[in-house]
Amino acid sequence: QHQDISRAKSAELFEKAKNFFPGGVNSPVRAFKSVYGTPLFIERGDEAYVWDADGNKFIDFCCSWGPLILGHNNAQIREAVAAQLDKGLSFGAPTRLENELAELILSNNSYIEKLRFVSSGTEAVMSAIRLARGYTKRDKIVKFEGCYHGHSDSLLVKAGSGLVTFGETSSAGVPKSFAEETIVIALDDKKALEEVFIRFPDQIAAVIIEGIPANNGLLLQDQEYIHFLRAITKEHGSLLIFDEVITGFRLGFQGAAHHYAVQPDIITYGKIIGGGMPVGAYGASKEIMSHISPDGGVYQAGTLSGNPIAMVAGIATLTQLAASGFYDKQEQTTKDFVETLRNYIADKNYEVQIFTVGSIFWFAFTAQQRISRAEQIDPQSMEKYKIMHRELLNQGIYFGPSGYEVGFISSAHTEEDLATSIQAIKNALDIVFQ
Ligand code: PMP
């Protein structure tokens, strides 16, 4: 076991932060409740690295939870933001920049025809749900256990007992009556889907799924199941919402929709679309989007929507992603990284799997070769992740502070960064399984 790195300054800042914020943080997972030690307070980032308040340097695989596909402090994004700063921060009026980002997205994406910019993934999904309800004139929505869609009331709902039951709220403060409009079922279960549409005929506005579920482990779904989901929603006049807040622009410009070759009715985006600034979006066909105000009766608005600084960060990001070969290279780099580690794991006979798609990866401490439902994850296995996480920090590798979180590889991760990380991960696994 390596000596623990110093977290003295971070600990001091955390103590202070506890006076200001519940749990000392502005988003719960940052509090390091699921891993060892005090949360690291980050001072700055550059390329694939972050530095904490104690001066420790880490190779970062959290990448701000996904947005930073080009790494930290990307020169083109920084310069675009700096240039825009001279012109003002916000106008609350239309700008040329919104057209530019929209054109970049829509001309490279055949799955949506119009979109609306908002300021977070939560807001994008909340708006998409309202649009689906307004469009279908139905109230109920179906979500899947193990998918996260932000913290709007309708979606903070977990499965009740039984195959198909009304959801139970997963947060205090969500009215029971709201939870009753959300039905939660297991992923990768055709029977449950069939049952839902038998039990609630003509009542389901939409079924929402993460393009590729990546918030509760990486729960890879079969193409055939996704096509079944598409067919059954269509058959019953319900919309299919793909929440691509993580997968959008991560698996390519056309995200999971293209990955599965499936046409959802509404798609939500976030994270990468704003290049590290607060941006989300939802999009659909012209016909569906015509129901949004001021064209239609579904109200949705935002003071900072289409914020100019955020738009230029998005434009600078997507312009770089649109370069030919970008995604192929990311995927190949990730495949090589994962394959090298898998070989080591196989040699050592360690009980750990690495699941991967595009430039996303997830370590699962299990012997199961396939995990497609939340219930298949053993909460006990997270104890092993905790050990690995601590050891990785000690060796200068920053993974998300929970074993349910996926890792991301950015284009800023060099071959050398990855080789260093592979060695550190091998060492960490040796300690986990010693
Ligand atoms: N949907 C998905 C699939 C997400 O991963 C997230 C955030 N992790 C959200 C919605 C919510 O986005 P935000 O945190 O920007 O509100």
Write the pLDDT tens digit of every residue in 176-214.
999 999 999 999 999 999 999 999 999 999 999 999 999
Q: What is the pLDDT of residue 2?
A: 64
The response to whether residue 355 sits with its C-beta less than 6 Å from ligand 1 reads no
In this prediction, residues 365-394 reach a mean pLDDT of: 97
Model pLDDT for residues 84-141, shown as the tens digit of each residue: 999 999 999 999 999 999 999 999 999 999 999 999 999 999 999 999 999 999 999 9
The C-alpha atoms of residue 299 and residue 172 are separated, in whole angstroms, by 26
CA distances from 38 to 285, 390, 432 (A): 46, 11, 20
Q: Is the pLDDT of residue 1 over 70?
A: no
Identify residue 194 by its one-letter amino acid code.
E
Instruction: State in Å: Cα 270 to ligand 1 middle.
Output: 7
- Interface predicted TM-score (ipTM) of this complex, two decimals: 0.99
**263 exposed, middle or buried (CB, 10 Å; 0-12, 13-18, 19+)?**
middle
Q: Which of 29, 127, 129, 149 to mutate to test the pocket of ligand 1 (most atoms within 8 A of CB)?
A: 149
Query: Cα(155)–Cα(150) distance, rounded to whole angstroms?
Result: 7
Ligand 1 atom at shortest distance from the alpha carbon of 121: 12
pLDDT in tens, 18-49: 999 999 999 999 999 999 999 999 999 999 99
Do the beta carbons of residue 5 and residue 393 sit within 8 Å?
yes
Is residue 242 lining ligand 1, measured as CB closer than 6 Å?
no
Cβ–Cβ under 8 Å, residues 124 and 280: yes
* pLDDT (0 to 100) of residue 237: 98
pLDDT band at 301 (very low <50, low <70, confident <90, very high): very high
Residue whose Cα lies nearest atom 1 of ligand 1: it is 149
Please tell me the residue having the least CA distance from ligand 1 atom 12: 121
- Look at the pTM and tell me if it is higher than 0.80: yes
Mean pLDDT to the nearest integer, 43-68: 98
In whole numbers, what is the pLDDT of the chain averaged over residues? Answer: 96
Structural domains in the chain, CATH included, are 8-73+325-432 (3.90.1150.10), 75-321 (3.40.640.10)
Is ligand 1 within 6 A of the CB of residue 121?
yes
67 lines ligand 1 (CB under 6 A): no
